[in-house]
């Protein structure tokens, strides 16, 4: 019979929290994949109020995604007329979005690094059972978080959208005319689609993480009985 290592609840708690937030960050990066923006934009761009064509709106949505994602050489359709281009106030907002996304990536990478360290230390001091428990419930916590946000979004997506923008862009430079190029390329249905994709992506990778955690836990329990 193998000797069981002493349990350390703190390690399990750290793994749960770090896993949940890492899953949030990783799933958010999936939202930024080019095909996601293209497919959603193709089905949501507002041609009714726009001064440019459908194809141009989809192209603008793609250009905006590339810019805020920080892709090398990405450019915005800069100009003075907000109905056909991005004037300085829109460009300033897009630059703010780019900073938020860049900072989110840094935070995600840091959390992933911390998670790796905690997993290694926990493996040495507390054993695989603590690791598997942390991963399993970390995935569950991430699912709970996305379900809560999904319910809030379903109840009042407009309000949730406004609150998130007020938190991220406290300077208030995120409101624009309904017929501006930016809003026609990214109307409210576009953000609902992006939010739905993020929720699905998070649910999938969280389910995988939780399943992996329980499989490791079951395997560890069987070996402990030998």
CA distance 134 to 209: 10
Helix (H) or strand (E) holding 140: helix 128-168
Residue pair 20/145 in contact by the 8 Å Cβ criterion: yes
In Å, how far from its chain's centre is CA 145?
12
For the stretch 147-181, pLDDT in tens is: 887 787 777 777 777 777 777 776 666 778 999 99
Q: What is the pLDDT of residue 7?
A: 60
- Judged against a pLDDT cut of 60, whether residue 5 lies above it is answered with no
CA distance 63 to 60: 5
Q: What is the pLDDT of residue 9?
A: 78
Q: What is the mean pLDDT of residues 179-186?
A: 96
Q: What is the mean pLDDT of residues 215-221?
A: 68
- Judged against a pLDDT cut of 60, whether residue 221 lies above it is answered with no
Report how far apart, in Å, the C-alpha atoms of 19 and of each of 13, 14, 26, 126, 201 are: 10, 8, 10, 17, 15
Can you read off the two tokens belonging to residue 39?
């497919």
Residue pair 7/126 in contact by the 8 Å Cβ criterion: yes
- Judged against a pLDDT cut of 90, whether residue 45 lies above it is answered with yes
Average pLDDT, the chain: 88
**Cβ partners under 8 Å of residue 157, min gap 6:** 188, 191, 192, 195
Residue pair 184/99 in contact by the 8 Å Cβ criterion: no
Q: What is the mean pLDDT of residues 122-144?
A: 88
Q: Where are the domains of the chain?
A: 9-225
Q: What is the pLDDT of residue 1?
A: 44
CA distance 181 to 90: 10
Q: What is the pLDDT of residue 170?
A: 63
CA distance 191 to 214: 34
- Judged against a pLDDT cut of 80, whether residue 88 lies above it is answered with yes
- Judged against a pLDDT cut of 80, whether residue 30 lies above it is answered with yes
Count of helix runs (H) and strand runs (E) in the chain: 7, 0
Q: Which residues pair with 86 in a beta bridge?
A: 78
**Three-state SS for 117?**
helix
Q: What is the pLDDT of residue 219?
A: 59
- Judged against a pLDDT cut of 50, whether residue 2 lies above it is answered with no
């Amino acid at each position: 019979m193998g000797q069981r290592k002493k349990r350390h609840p703190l390690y399990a708690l750290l793994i749960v929290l770090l896993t949940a937030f890492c899953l949030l960050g990783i799933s958010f990066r999936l939202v930024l994949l080019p095909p996601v923006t293209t497919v959603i934009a193709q089905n949501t761009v507002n041609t009714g109020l726009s001064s440019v064509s459908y194809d141009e709106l989809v192209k603008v949505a793609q250009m905006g995604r590339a810019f805020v994602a920080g892709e090398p050489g990405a450019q915005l359709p800069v100009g003075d007329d907000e109905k056909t281009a991005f004037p300085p106030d829109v460009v300033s907002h897009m630059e703010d979005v780019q900073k938020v996304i860049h900072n989110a990536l840094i935070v995600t990478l840091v959390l992933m690094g911390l998670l790796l360290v905690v997993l290694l230390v926990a493996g040495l001091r507390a054993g695989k059972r603590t690791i598997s428990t942390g991963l399993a419930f970390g995935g569950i916590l991430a699912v709970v978080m996305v379900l809560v946000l999904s319910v809030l979004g379903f109840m009042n997506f407009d309000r949730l959208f406004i609150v998130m923008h007020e938190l991220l862009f406290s300077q208030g430079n995120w409101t624009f005319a309904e017929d501006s190029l930016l809003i026609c390329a990214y109307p409210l249905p576009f953000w609902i689609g992006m939010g739905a994709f993020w929720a699905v992506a998070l649910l999938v990778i969280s389910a995988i993480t939780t399943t992996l955690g329980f499989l490791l836990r079951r395997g560890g329990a069987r070996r402990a009985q030998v």
